[in-house]
Amino acid sequence: MIVEEPPYELLAVFADADAQAFVERLVERGQERQCLRPFRWRSRRDAMRDGLVARPVDVVSALLPAGLQPRVLLV
């Protein structure tokens, strides 16, 4: 399930809105059909797309609350 508030197990950060919509639907459908186990995750699109490539640690650090260390997917 996509959530806004921590805790979440996965943070997915996207540079492209189409890729974000595709992955969101792919994961949600997998969970609905029980191909994927249910897990809490957050999906965000980085408005500064170049920053995601040039400074991924800075982008991810800004999105994570202090002390939270989920898995991170950069697309």
Q: What is the mean pLDDT of each run of 10 residues along the chain (75 residues)?
A: 89 91 96 95 82 79 81 89
Specify if 16 maps to a domain: yes
Q: What is the pLDDT, as a whole number, of residue 75? A: 87
CB 72 within 8 A of CB 11: yes
Specify if 4 maps to a domain: no
Specify if 60 maps to a domain: yes
Task: Report the C-alpha gap between 68 and 7 in whole angstroms.
Answer: 7
Specify if 31 maps to a domain: yes
Q: What is the pLDDT, as a whole number, of residue 37? A: 95
Number of domains in the chain: 1
Tell me the pTM.
0.81
Specify if 20 maps to a domain: yes
Specify if 5 maps to a domain: no
Question: pLDDT digit string (tens) for 48-60?
Answer: 766 677 788 888 8
Task: Report the C-alpha gap between 21 and 19 in whole angstroms.
Answer: 6
Range of the domain at 59: 10-74
